[in-house]
Amino acid sequence: YTRGTVTAFAPFDARADAEALRKAMKGLGTDEETVLTILTTRNNAQRQEIASAFKTLFGRDLVDDLKSELTGKFETLMVSLMRPAYIFDAHALKHAIKGAGTNEKVLTEILASRTPAEVQNIKQVYQQEYEADLEDKITGETSGHFQRLLVVLLQGNRDPDVGVDEALVEQDAQVLFRAGELKWGTDEEKFITILGTRSVSHLRRVFDKYMTISGFQIEETIDRETSGDLERLLLAVVKCIRSVPAYFAETLYYSMKGAGTDDDTLIRVMVSRSEVDLLDIRQEFRKNFAKSLYQMIQKDTSGDYRKALLLLCGGDDD
């Protein structure tokens, strides 16, 4: 990935960073500025080295110290930055399915947007970290067609992108048309199988062909033919097939639009995409919402939390 806003910091000195962090958190009061500046400008691999140096030098756990010295959303953001990518996703999924009620939004966002290889890694890490099978946990907490599509995505078995067979494109587009618009009721299974298993380049062609055959965008059909969690998941899959950065730009926009901010989503997306494609997300944000991500964060957040998010954002696009 080369489209992140956070890249390896140079010249990097893990011991010096660990010493600076210890000094910032030692004694009365905390120097938040030092903490946020170091953690938002080093990449995740470097943060792990800092944590290791911190333990070696002081016999203390950096994450524990961050938790005891910081509070609120700022604490959540700094602790999130310390988690390696797959552990971060596994942790988010674990919290989405534990306790009373399931956070379908988190399941949808992560499983619709990650690549098959990433999904395999998340499952492995989940097993190691929590000694539990992610698929079992998810099927225990979800049901119906929503559950089935999640299970399909959890297999991480999407067809590889090797050339597009136009005959199959035509066939899939017709199948979707017959399963939705042409049918009384909807054959959800066809949508689940095709959208959950075909390759990205194949599906992009299917969406074009579908528009030609039916006169509708596939999103309009999903909107009319399905509802609730299944509808949201199908739409997320379609949006991610079209463009993952555009999907996340929209996710970020709605996390801040209107009254109140959905900080959990804002933090999750900013942290998880900061080393992947946040530059592309910023571009899509500017293009689709007539303002920059930087400006929206600036307007919608405050304090050290805002400073840290703006550093992760990596600049303004206006």
Closest by CA position to 74, among listed 284, 311, 290, 254: 311
Report d(CA 275, CA 5) in Å as an integer.
6
Q: How far is CA 224 from CA 86, 208, 227, in A?
A: 35, 19, 8
Block residue for tokens 């494609």: 277
> Quick one: 213 and 228 in the same domain?
yes
Average pLDDT of span 119-144: 97
> Quick one: 81 and 99 in the same domain?
no
> Quick one: 183 and 237 in the same domain?
yes
| Residue scoring higher pLDDT (103 or 100) | 103
Average pLDDT of span 105-128: 97
Tell me the pLDDT band of 98, cut-offs 50, 70 and 90: confident
Tell me the pLDDT band of 101, cut-offs 50, 70 and 90: confident
Report d(CA 41, CA 113) in Å as an integer.
25
> Quick one: 69 and 33 in the same domain?
yes
The whole domain housing 190 covers 166-242
Which of 100-104, 114-118, 235-239 has the least mean pLDDT? Answer: 100-104
Q: Is residue 21 part of a domain?
A: yes
Average pLDDT of span 208-234: 96
Predicted TM-score (pTM) of the model is: 0.96
242, 258, 273 — which closes off a domain? 242
- The CATH number linked to 52 is 1.10.220.10
187, 207, 242 — which closes off a domain? 242
Tens of pLDDT, residue by residue over 274-302, are: 999 999 999 999 999 999 999 999 999 99
Is the pLDDT assigned to residue 38 strictly greater than 90?
yes
Q: Is residue 192 part of a domain?
A: yes
Average pLDDT of span 115-144: 97
Report d(CA 243, CA 172) in Å as an integer.
20
Overall domain count for the chain: 4
Is the pLDDT assigned to residue 183 strictly greater than 90?
no
Residue 83 near residue 91 (C-beta atoms within 8 A): yes
Q: Is residue 7 part of a domain?
A: no
Report d(CA 282, CA 314) in Å as an integer.
9
> Quick one: 65 and 100 in the same domain?
no
pLDDT at 318: 78
Q: Is residue 9 part of a domain?
A: no
> Quick one: 183 and 210 in the same domain?
yes
pLDDT at 186: 86
pLDDT at 1: 63
Q: Would you list the DSSP string of 110-149?
A: HHHHS-HHHHHHHHHHHHHHHSS-HHHHHHHH--HHHHHH
pLDDT at 258: 86
199, 227, 242 — which closes off a domain? 242
Average pLDDT of span 88-116: 94
pLDDT at 27: 86
> Quick one: 302 and 274 in the same domain?
yes
Length of the chain: 318
pLDDT, averaged across the chain: 96
Q: Is residue 93 part of a domain?
A: yes
